[in-house]
Amino acid sequence: MNGELKVSKIKNGTVIDHIPAGMAPAVLKILGIERSCPDTVIVAMNVKSQRLGLKDMVKVENRALEPQTVKKIAIVAPQATVNIIREMTVAEKIHVELPQELIGIIRCPNRNCITNSGERVVSHFTVERRAPLSMRCHYCESLVEGPAVELLL
Ligand SMILES: Nc1ncnc2c1ncn2[C@@H]1O[C@H](COP(=O)(O)OP(=O)(O)OP(=O)(O)O)[C@@H](O)[C@H]1O
Ligand SMILES: [Mg+2]
Ligand SMILES: [Zn+2]
């Protein structure tokens, strides 16, 4: 053994690679995999990475990610790579990128914000800075910082 990870491959699905160490649970939450799930899910935490030192990885069989899901992943794992697996091999590789405008992605922490009022106003944040992450509510101008934000699921 050379310390390499030995786990079975998935045939079709998605591999989310280069997740910062410790953030795999947040990614699972975004994917809605908090309890049981009918398909194979492989989670690796704190594995060695040339680029990140230590990283987490999440592999989900028979699952494609919606664009909104990829944006949420970009908040908790800004350097993540989303690999689409078809017939055992990487068919597509997407480097996640946080868009400037986040619509319907995060919840405004201001209880009095119109987006929390029960009126049907969709949350809208503008990314002001990427590292460290800082975003401002379009409606009430509340500032939200860091990856520990409340995501809309
Ligand atoms: N069929 C599969 N099942 C599970 N994991 C897979 C499968 N195919 C590839 N992977 C994993 O997906 C990731 C991306 O695979 P790839 O072959 O592109 O590696 P790479 O060249 O190291 O990519 P990168 O440059 O993005 O780090 C790796 O972590 C690899 O182990
Ligand atoms: Mg690699
Ligand atoms: Zn607000």
The per-residue pLDDT for range 101-145, each reduced to its tens digit, is: 999 999 999 999 999 999 999 999 999 999 999 999 999 999 999
pLDDT at 82: 98
pLDDT at 146: 80
pLDDT at 59: 97
Cα(21)–Cα(42) distance, rounded to whole angstroms?
15
pLDDT at 5: 60
Model confidence at 2, in pLDDT bands (50, 70, 90)? low
Quote the mean pLDDT of the chain. Answer: 93
Output DSSP code: residue 106.
B
Burial of 58 from C-beta contacts in 10 A (0-12 / 13-18 / 19+): buried
SS3 content of the chain, % helix, strand, coil (to 5): 15, 35, 50
Residue 10 near ligand 1, beta carbon < 6 Å:
yes
pLDDT at 6: 66
> Which residues have CB atoms below 5 A from the ion given as ligand 3?
108, 110, 113, 137, 139-140, 142
Tell how far the Cα of 90 is from the centroid of ligand 1, in angstroms: 7
- Best residue for ligand 1 mutational test, from 15, 39, 40 (most atoms within 8 Å of Cβ): 15
**φ, ψ (nearest 5 deg) of residue 109:** -75, -10
Nearest CA to ligand 1 atom 16: 90
The strand pairing partners of 94, in sequence order, are 82
Residue 17 near ligand 1, beta carbon < 6 Å:
yes
- Segment 76-109, tens digit of pLDDT: 999 999 999 999 999 999 999 999 999 999 999 9
Residue 90 near ligand 1, beta carbon < 6 Å:
yes
How far from 124 is each of 70, 94, 106, 111, CA to CA, in Å? 17, 24, 8, 15
Size (the chain), residues: 153
